[in-house]
Structure 1
Amino acid sequence: MLTAFILVKSTREGLTRLGPELADVEGVAEVYTVTGEWDFVAIVRVREHDDLAKVVTERLTRLEGVERTQTMVAFQQFSAHDLEAMFGLGLEDKRS
């Protein structure tokens, strides 16, 4: 399994709708909005490098509103913590 982190810069028009569209792309496991130079981070999990190339060049970059991308491929995983625990706000659902 190959894991990659795709940084996505959106056009102004794409900011409000691009998140769910990125998440619907086959091979994209998760999408986050982020602060800074980039607008989204898409976590891609695929079997091979060729599959990653297809996700980026044939799917992600063709979405309307994607201005540019940068891909980082993971070499090693050091922790298998639950991603919600890692990225969550620490707020518990207190509804009764």
Structure 2
Amino acid sequence: MVHAFVLIDAVPSRVAPLATELAEVDGVAEVYSVAGHADLVAVVRVRHHEELADVVTRRIHALEGITDTRTLIAFQAYSRRDLEALWDLGDDAAG
């Protein structure tokens, strides 16, 4: 499974409508409106890298009002649960 975060800059009047439109795109799992280096962040989850290219370059870029995107591809996922389990292992080894 390929996970990516697409940072999206948009025309201000299109931010809210784009969020809804992005959420309906196949391959887009979640959409967040954010402050900082982008207006929206789309979380993309697909099975193959080739699908990622299709989602970003054909489906996302086809939406009206997007002015720029930057795609971050995830190498490895970490969750709080996984990190807490790691620290718990360390406590058991010491005791």
Q: The TM-score by the shorter chain falls in which range?
A: 0.7 to 0.9
Percent identity over the alignment is 49
Specify the SS of the correspondent of 1:62: coil
Gap regions ≥5 residues in structure 1: 82-96
1:47-66 maps to which residues of 2 (within 5 A)?
A: 47-66=47-66
Residue 78 of structure 1 is matched in structure 2 by: 78
The ranges of structure 1 where at least 4 consecutive aligned residues each deviate by more than 2 angstroms after the TM superposition are none
Which structure shows the bigger proportion of residues in helix conformation?
2
Task: Name the aligned partner's letter for residue 78 of structure 1.
Answer: Y
TM-superposed CA distance for 1:80, in Å, is 6.6
Gap regions ≥5 residues in structure 2: 82-95
CA RMSD, Structure 1 to Structure 2 (Å)? 1.2
TM-score scaled by structure 2?
0.81
Aligned pair count reads 81
For 2:45 and 2:5, how far apart are their aligned partners in 1? 9
1:1-96 maps to which residues of 2 (within 5 A)?
A: 1-79=1-79
TM-score scaled by structure 1?
0.80
For 1:13 and 1:28, how far apart are their aligned partners in 2? 22
Larger radius of gyration: 2
